[in-house]
Copies of this chain bind each other. A is one copy, B any other.
Amino acid sequence: MPAASPQPRRPRAGSRRDEAARLAVLHAADDLLVEHGFGALTVEAIARRAGVAKQTIYRWWPSKVEILLDTLIEDSDKRLPVPTERPTAESIRGYLGDFARFLTDDPAGKVLLALIAEAQHDPHTAKSFHTRYLGPRRDQERDMLARAIDAGEVSPRLGLDATIDALVGPIVYCALTGSSIPRDLADTLAEGLLRPRSN
């Protein structure tokens, strides 16, 4: 958020964005998704629930998907940080476990699943979802893994991205299909994929 630029250029007179309205929309969208599902997540319903005019939503978000992305980014930065400091095999296992818990227990997990889903239906969603969420997060995860390899903590047989897909994929797939995630899944995945070929 930019410091007051001293220039007398006047980018904006008068009104500025109403933070209360912004938060009301974000929370309303989150609540509606969790309570009544993506089908009930209409712009009209969000506006109604947030006590906000539809135009206020359209002024700041191009679609309801971007609202969800905003909440997801804020929430997962806060509640599911990628461990970037001195990563160990242990911290990677821990991250996978946290990720599984995030998906199944955190409301924001529902948001993530809904966005993965909606990205299949709509190319705009796919684009935005990759650019704003998946890409940046993958960058951090790739970095984490690369450092762990450098440190000799792990030595996966697959490429960086493929390894991450192989670790994260099963967890996401279980969440998508509604299976409970077995307690030992994350550890076994890590063990099977992060250690060098034994023969």
| Residues in A lying within 8 Å of B, measured CB to CB | 37-39, 113-114, 116-123, 126, 130, 134, 157-159, 161-162, 165-166, 168-174, 176-179, 182, 184-185, 188-189, 191-193, 197-199
**Distance between A149 CB and nearest chain B CB, rounded to angstroms:** 16
Q: Are A165's CB and B158's CB within 8 A? A: no
- Number of this chain's copies in the assembly equals 4
Q: Are A121's CB and B177's CB within 8 A? A: no
- Give Cα A165 to B173, complex, Å: 7
* Closest residue of B by beta carbon distance from A33: B121
- Give Cα A117 to B157, complex, Å: 30
Q: Are A121's CB and B117's CB within 8 A? A: yes
Q: Are B178's CB and A122's CB within 8 A? A: no
**Contact residues in B for A134 (Cβ distance below 8 Å):** 177
Q: Are B126's CB and A120's CB within 8 A? A: no
Which 6 pairs show the lowest CB-CB distances between chains A and B?
A198-B198, A169-B173, A169-B170, A192-B192, A117-B120, A117-B117
Not counting A38-B120, A159-B182, A166-B189, a sample of 7 additional A-B residue pairs whose C-beta atoms are within 8 angstroms of each other reads A37-B122, A39-B122, A117-B120, A130-B177, A158-B188, A166-B188, A170-B170
- Give Cα A184 to B178, complex, Å: 28
